Structure 1
Amino acid sequence: MEAEITAVLPSIDPIITDYSVGFLTHASTSTSPEADIEFAEAISAVTSILLDAAPPSVSEASVTGLIDKLVAQLNAAHGENRRAFSGRAKKLDQTIHMASQKNISSTMGLVGGGVDIDAVGTRKVESKVDKKKLEKAERKIKAKQDKKVMKNVTYEASKLIATDEQQSYDDFYMAVNPLQLGQSSQGKSKDIKIDNVDVQIGGKRILSDTTLTLAYGRRYGLVGQNGIGKSTLLRALSRREVAVPTHITILHVEQEIMGDDTPALQAVLDADVWRKHLLAEQDRISKELKILESKPDPITITASQGFPNQERDELDSLLSEVHAKLAEIESDKAEPRAASILAGLGFSAERQQDPTRTFSGGWRMRLALARALFCKPDLLLLDEPSNMLDVPSITFLSEYLQDYPSTILVVSHDRAFLNEVATDIIHQHSERLDYYKGGNFDSFYATKEERRKTAKREYENQMAYRKHLQTFIDKFRYNAAKSSEAQSRIKKLEKLPVLEAPEDEYSVVFKFPDVEKLSPPIIQMQNVSFSYTPGKPIVEKVDLDVQLDSRIGIVGPNGAGKTTVLKLLIGQLSPSSGLITQNPRLRIGFFAQHHVDALDLNSSAVAFCAKMFPGRTDEEYRRHLGAFGITGTTGLQKMALLSGGQKSRVAFACLSLTNPHILVLDEPSNHLDVEAMDALSNALRNFHGGVLMVSHDVTMLANVCTHLWVCDNGSVESFPGDIKAYKKRIIEQANAAGVVKHH
């Protein structure tokens, strides 16, 4: 019988063949009163299994013909046994479905615990099925079935966000990117196309029946409103919860690395788990070969008879495959490439040797980014990479990614970064993905608006035409003289294409309250120095003057003391020397880089505002939050459920309730979408008080700030040019220092 199956299905797994034959044979030899029913169920089950295992080239008719042939053989061999007991059979009140019986395999062998075929009949009959093979076959069938439906799977929040705390980075990397020796990915297509994807999180639908297409070597910017589900999509891809081919390697930069005693450079080298594993395997094989060579070779005596040393040959072959894979991933160039990436992200040669535990959160995030760039995955997933980077590091990253050889999918709201990096834009909205090919963010923005206006015009024109037709139909439908014309218009109405109403234009308006005038000086820093440890100043001899019309941007490398200067200004830190003076009636509004820490995530935005700034009605708080884009029921949800950008808006809404004269902002653009950043820029320009901000967002600095101050090497000095001139200086300094790109 195996031969008949193989003749029709030559590529079928032998385990499935054994399982099918065993299942049918066992059912045909059953002598229980329900033998006929069991045999019919077995035929149905095996038919489903073989249809599922059949390649597209084999028709359903061929498979059903095969089943008929097998059944005829079994009836000829075992039919008499069953007929001998048929007289005892009773008519059942209802059909028995084997899949519903406890401990009995369903049609696909996926329901219940084990599969106890011996217990199906009333008499103990020795099963002809190897149970281990049977279980393996069921697992393979389940995996095949899961793969078929994976394209249309609905992702749950717990599946995407919850991770196995016990799973190490190495284990997760190897699970997502299995290493296959002897198989090169060269020559295989690395384009990705995922059809009919539905994504749902927390009961909210993110994507419906959409297509994700990523052409290899293109750099895609994924954009959309806060809370639309961009990060959710990246997580689904990073865990292969969509059908990405296994020869395409994937790496997702999502969170900072855990600190330990590993030097930063070694942490980057260790990130390439394939290389780490291959080098360990190379050492192991080399040692085993050395041991074999040191022992007397028993085969030497019979070498003339042509018996090879099988163990040595197998090790030699495996070592060759390991060497080939190491050459493919350019393992010999690893260390200088890792050092170059770290240098570009701000790590000096000395700091590259420091243990990872000595770095702050922002620097650990840079390490995570350096590890991903070093691994060179075929699909690199970046979620807001610029949030934890300073302007020099963002400049390096954008320059580096422009020559990146593989596919990039990056979520970012940094307009200047996307303009420099992205070759294509994917707009996530209305539960779908729209593609804007061959253009940067600015061209996407202009095209998107034009598309929206065109769709709105078409929809309005059609609705007007529909109304015109319907009015005539309603008026003359029952008029004998006009009935034929009415029928003609009914047909026209039925043939009109159904257009979806275009989505409303998304807009956010931030507004800070007007403040009364104050007489100067507002805030002055005179010859101010500060150090946590005596003799090691963070900043020294700082002179800074902030007025009600100031628009000052402070830039510089991370760790240079920018946030320290802000904390000195607002009084959170006291200077080690020097003088800070401010108007006694001055109110300062401070937006911290880690503003989420100040929010009660178990409370709603409305309740939090009422608690922190009492004296207004819930409706007034909702209106106030609505002005910052927290609309509808969003203001009534627990803030733990809000996206990072939505939490930022709540923080800005609270900030405006303090009615400040001076806004001191530390990385205000983090997590905000483009519309919210534009709204914030407009609000800051129109604000009647002063603004002092530390920011890495080039667009916001260009739109808001009239003066730049550079914080570096312990000093804070006025920069004579604008942000573009500052970026140009950074690139020139990097080139002079020899920080170049290596891929």
Structure 2
Amino acid sequence: MSTIGSQVRKAAPSIDPIVADYAVGYFNHLSTLTYDPVQSKQLDLATEISFVSELLRNAGASEDKVDTLAKEISERLNLQLDENRAKLELTGDTSKRLLDINVLKSHNNKADINTSLNLLNNNGIEHAGRQMETRVNLKKLAKAEQKIAKKVAKRNNKFVQYEASKLINEQKDEDYDSFFLKINPLEFGSAAGKSKDIKIDTFDLYVGDGQRILSDAQLTLSFGHRYGLVGQNGIGKSTLLRALSRRELNVPKHISILHVEQELRGDDTLALQSVLDADVWRKQLLHEEHKINERLQEMEKLRAEFEEGSLEVKKLDNEREDLDNHLEQIAEKLADMESDKAEAKAASILYGLGFSVEAQNKPTNSFSGGWRMRLSLARALFCQPDLLLLDEPSNMLDVPSIAYLSEYLKTYPSTLLVVSHDRAFLNEVATDIIYQHNERLDYYRGQDFDTFYATKEERRKNAQREYENQMAYRKHLQEFIDKFRYNAAKSSEAQSRIKKLEKLPVLEPPEEDKSIHFKFPDCENLSPPIIQLQDVSFGYDEKNLLLKDVNLDVQMDSRIALVGANGCGKTTLLKVMMNQLKPLKGYVSSNGRLRIGYFTQHHVDSMDLTKSAVDWMSVKYPGKTDEEYRRHLGSFGITGTLGLQKMQLLSGGQKSRVAFAALCLNNPHILVLDEPSNHLDNTGLDALVESLKNFSGGVLMVSHDISVIDSVCKEIWVSENGTVRRFDGTIHDYKDYILASAGTAGVVKKH
């Protein structure tokens, strides 16, 4: 990258990359003009630099940084201009351009304004195979472009077609097929013998606001390994996955990549067909095969119209030979990807993720957002790319689907990189752990999550001991030096210790993991029954019951996990228990003094994110001072000024902690938690588990996180077949039960 390029990207790291390229190209163009004896006389550097500065500001760059950049570029170009004019005065040569070798190199690298931009008559901004939204004021940019076009024409004394920015043109979304083929171009050449290992040395990575998340990092992914990427919320794990998925990092071209990031857009395509269509290579090859066969049939008819041995027949025979060869290549490709088994494979994946045979034949626009996310996951599993990137896949799944997914991924033949905080999932799936922290990546090879956690703590303790030992040794040397530095008899020994001190490596104190603690308030004991359901049935009409004949109870010492497939009535049961819904049949009895704290998985929807946590709680739960609210938030890890910031600035995990704090303001006897582990990182999960264990009341939770259930809950309730019942066994027994009942293990091994 040129010096100007480095300056621009440092000053404006968060703007659209195409705008940054535009600025770099324009500054390099100005640099070229400073060496032109004719055009440099008409060059108004201040105006030109002002134009680009305004462009960067409109794109969202910091005004202070842009002003500093403009000053640096101006000083550099004015210096070049003065030097060039001084040379001209000495040589008197006005017929040739005095080219600087760096400018010449920048031209060879297509960094000038006309080649680096490639901006003429294109729709939308393309960057690494995706369309990007711009924050540039398009009207201002269009006017500025017109002025520049006139200046360029005047400078060259003739009319020129100035290549305007692509930002002026309308943007349009790029379809999935186009994006897939840009990231993963279909090649017919053999990839045999090419390594599918990924090794990216010494790279930096920045997040959108210019904050660096990785510095001089190395990424090494061995083909066939399954990596769990872990680290605290906000550390940049998702940013790393996105950079890989768009080949912004140098992943070899022959390695196919797929990233499950967004839910599928719904349309009239059937769910099964949408999964089949996700393999764009197969879709493209089948389309080509169909077209070639059509052409071959057409050629047979044409051939009959000409005499044998004629020029036309020879041409047709040559074309047929080429088409036959290409058809053979297509057949080989389709055979390699087992195209004939595609539909059965797609159907089994969908079934494992909870789609019944009936649901597989429904259009994608009939599914909710959560189910469309499952479709996105099914499409990725069906494509089976060389590098599969998954970002918190368990957040969108229920326990049966997570069990299926973990079984499926155990036999995944290519490379997997998954971001997850689900420890049980990582223990089953991951062969290696990558720990992202402190702007670097640490590798724990051949370890599941539990082993990694223990090893990481051991490494930290060793590093702490090494640091403390060196600090003690340094102190010992320094004390001797201070005592005998000016003592004639001991001066040589003091000098020897000074040299020893200088040679010691500088050790940084080991990074301490940020720990947080939750504290649910103690509550007074109540006499039973606390909550009891007797022969309860519920539905929105008597012919379509969601729950039938439920007989269960919750006590003050209960630790219950409610599990089952999505849509089977778990949330409905919670609302019936809390008297938010009235049963059609049966009775719900509860203690008259009972207070319930309810945490919903959509808790953010009930928050006013424009307010601070303290202000929001004082409106929704009045009666305390701001200091009391802050102290209460502090017991859930919302410390310092976090409670005074607008909640829209908080991370997902921090918003969840605010919600936990809010539900405790009425000192509940029973905590009813619907997916409480979503958005919490490992530190937050540790705090949640410990606080639920120590809570003096009862706990009933709906959760997909097997490790949280295993740590907290002593009782399992299963929702299936229109009712809810106690399950005899642990959460691991339940997982074995659903795999056995669905026959999933056999399906997974087969495919």
> What TM-score bracket applies, with the shorter chain setting the length?
0.7 to 0.9
Question: 1:265 is aligned with what amino acid?
Answer: L
Query: 576, 580, 588: which is aligned to 1:572?
Result: 580
CA distance in 1, matches of 2:338, 2:155: 64
Deviations 1:348-403 (A, max 9, x none): 22221122222233322222111111000111111111112121111111111111
Structure 1 partner of 2:112? 111
Structure 2 partner of 1:140? none
CA distance in 2, matches of 1:618, 1:422: 45
- Going from structure 1 to structure 2, the CA distance change for 1:318 and 1:686 (only over 3 Å counts) comes to same
Per-residue deviation, 1:583: 2.4
CA distance in 2, matches of 1:376, 1:306: 43
Structure 2 partner of 1:254? 261
Aligned length: 626
CA distance in 1, matches of 2:154, 2:621: 75
- Going from structure 1 to structure 2, the CA distance change for 1:600 and 1:534 (only over 3 Å counts) comes to same
Structure 2 partner of 1:560? 568
Alignment pair present for 1:326 and 2:327: no
Secondary structure of 2:309 counterpart = helix
Structure 2 partner of 1:199? 205
Query: 479, 494, 506: which is aligned to 1:498?
Result: 506
Asked if the contact 1:33–1:90 (Cα under 8 Å) also holds between the matched residues in 2, the reply is no
Alignment pair present for 1:517 and 2:525: yes
- Going from structure 1 to structure 2, the CA distance change for 1:165 and 1:727 (only over 3 Å counts) comes to farther
Structure 2 partner of 1:392? 400
Structure 1 partner of 2:383? 375
Question: 2:239 is aligned with what amino acid?
Answer: T
Alignment pair present for 1:272 and 2:279: yes
Alignment pair present for 1:690 and 2:703: no
Per-residue deviation, 1:737: 9.6
Query: 632, 647, 652: which is aligned to 1:644?
Result: 652
Percent identity of paired positions between Structure 1 and Structure 2:
62
Structure 1 partner of 2:667? 659
- Map 1:224-303 onto structure 2 (within 5 A): 224-296=231-303, 298=306, 300-302=308-310
CA distance in 1, matches of 2:552, 2:382: 41
Asked if the contact 1:527–1:543 (Cα under 8 Å) also holds between the matched residues in 2, the reply is yes
Asked if the contact 2:270–2:361 (Cα under 8 Å) also holds between the matched residues in 1, the reply is yes
Per-residue deviation, 1:567: 1.5
Question: 1:423 is aligned with what amino acid?
Answer: T
Query: 315, 331, 336: which is aligned to 2:344?
Result: 336
Structure 2 partner of 1:716? 724
Asked if the contact 2:39–2:155 (Cα under 8 Å) also holds between the matched residues in 1, the reply is no
- Going from structure 1 to structure 2, the CA distance change for 1:722 and 1:617 (only over 3 Å counts) comes to same
Deviations 1:236-286 (A, max 9, x none): 111211111121111111232122222211111111111111111211121
Secondary structure of 1:301 counterpart = coil
Per-residue deviation, 1:304: 12
Deviations 1:692-727 (A, max 9, x none): 111111111111111111110011111111112212
Per-residue deviation, 1:731: 2.2
Structure 2 partner of 1:149? none
Asked if the contact 2:556–2:670 (Cα under 8 Å) also holds between the matched residues in 1, the reply is yes
CA distance in 2, matches of 1:542, 1:395: 26
CA distance in 1, matches of 2:587, 2:155: 96
CA distance in 1, matches of 2:614, 2:708: 28
Asked if the contact 1:98–1:105 (Cα under 8 Å) also holds between the matched residues in 2, the reply is no
Alignment pair present for 1:487 and 2:495: yes
Structure 1 partner of 2:180? 173
CA distance in 1, matches of 2:471, 2:602: 49
Asked if the contact 2:256–2:385 (Cα under 8 Å) also holds between the matched residues in 1, the reply is yes
Per-residue deviation, 1:305: 11
CA distance in 2, matches of 1:288, 1:675: 62
Per-residue deviation, 1:109: 4.0
Question: 1:110 is aligned with what amino acid?
Answer: A
CA distance in 1, matches of 2:89, 2:406: 82
- Going from structure 1 to structure 2, the CA distance change for 1:593 and 1:120 (only over 3 Å counts) comes to closer
Structure 1 partner of 2:593? 585
Query: 684, 705, 712: which is aligned to 1:676?
Result: 684
CA distance in 1, matches of 2:37, 2:206: 49
Query: 557, 582, 586: which is aligned to 1:549?
Result: 557
Per-residue deviation, 1:171: 2.0
Deviations 1:102-127 (A, max 9, x none): xx9857442334799xx9999999x9
Question: 1:648 is aligned with what amino acid?
Answer: S
- Going from structure 1 to structure 2, the CA distance change for 1:35 and 1:715 (only over 3 Å counts) comes to closer
Larger mean Cα displacement after TM superposition, 353-362 or 241-250: 353-362
Query: 185, 191, 197: which is aligned to 1:185?
Result: 191
Per-residue deviation, 1:629: 3.0
- Going from structure 1 to structure 2, the CA distance change for 1:100 and 1:401 (only over 3 Å counts) comes to closer
CA distance in 2, matches of 1:722, 1:35: 81
Per-residue deviation, 1:570: 2.0
CA distance in 1, matches of 2:377, 2:265: 13
Structure 1 partner of 2:17? none
Per-residue deviation, 1:478: 2.1
Asked if the contact 1:662–1:690 (Cα under 8 Å) also holds between the matched residues in 2, the reply is yes
Per-residue deviation, 1:652: 1.5
CA distance in 2, matches of 1:537, 1:346: 20
Question: 1:112 is aligned with what amino acid?
Answer: I
- Going from structure 1 to structure 2, the CA distance change for 1:611 and 1:177 (only over 3 Å counts) comes to farther
Secondary structure of 2:561 counterpart = strand
CA distance in 1, matches of 2:313, 2:175: 50
Asked if the contact 2:306–2:312 (Cα under 8 Å) also holds between the matched residues in 1, the reply is no
Per-residue deviation, 1:453: 0.3
- Going from structure 1 to structure 2, the CA distance change for 1:308 and 1:628 (only over 3 Å counts) comes to same
Per-residue deviation, 1:587: 1.7
CA distance in 2, matches of 1:658, 1:238: 46
Asked if the contact 1:340–1:741 (Cα under 8 Å) also holds between the matched residues in 2, the reply is no
Secondary structure of 1:601 counterpart = coil
CA distance in 2, matches of 1:238, 1:414: 22
- Map 1:465-480 onto structure 2 (within 5 A): 465-480=473-488
- Going from structure 1 to structure 2, the CA distance change for 1:34 and 1:558 (only over 3 Å counts) comes to closer
RMSD: 3.4
Structure 1 partner of 2:353? 345
CA distance in 2, matches of 1:582, 1:222: 45
Deviations 1:598-625 (A, max 9, x none): 2333334344334433454555444433
Asked if the contact 2:407–2:745 (Cα under 8 Å) also holds between the matched residues in 1, the reply is no
CA distance in 2, matches of 1:396, 1:279: 30
Secondary structure of 1:537 counterpart = strand
Whichever of the two has the greater Rg, that structure is 1
CA distance in 2, matches of 1:652, 1:692: 14
Secondary structure of 1:231 counterpart = helix
Secondary structure of 1:711 counterpart = strand
Larger mean Cα displacement after TM superposition, 106-115 or 235-244: 106-115
Question: 2:436 is aligned with what amino acid?
Answer: Q
Alignment pair present for 1:455 and 2:456: no
Larger mean Cα displacement after TM superposition, 492-501 or 646-655: 646-655
Asked if the contact 2:656–2:680 (Cα under 8 Å) also holds between the matched residues in 1, the reply is yes
Secondary structure of 1:439 counterpart = coil
- Going from structure 1 to structure 2, the CA distance change for 1:697 and 1:34 (only over 3 Å counts) comes to closer
Per-residue deviation, 1:216: 0.4
Alignment pair present for 1:705 and 2:706: no
Question: 1:111 is aligned with what amino acid?
Answer: D
Asked if the contact 1:384–1:671 (Cα under 8 Å) also holds between the matched residues in 2, the reply is no
Asked if the contact 1:207–1:432 (Cα under 8 Å) also holds between the matched residues in 2, the reply is yes
- Going from structure 1 to structure 2, the CA distance change for 1:474 and 1:347 (only over 3 Å counts) comes to same
Alignment pair present for 1:429 and 2:440: no
Secondary structure of 2:113 counterpart = coil
Secondary structure of 1:258 counterpart = coil
Secondary structure of 1:295 counterpart = helix
Asked if the contact 1:227–1:642 (Cα under 8 Å) also holds between the matched residues in 2, the reply is no
Asked if the contact 2:307–2:313 (Cα under 8 Å) also holds between the matched residues in 1, the reply is no
Asked if the contact 2:739–2:745 (Cα under 8 Å) also holds between the matched residues in 1, the reply is no
Asked if the contact 1:105–1:112 (Cα under 8 Å) also holds between the matched residues in 2, the reply is no
- Going from structure 1 to structure 2, the CA distance change for 1:122 and 1:555 (only over 3 Å counts) comes to closer
Question: 1:207 is aligned with what amino acid?
Answer: L
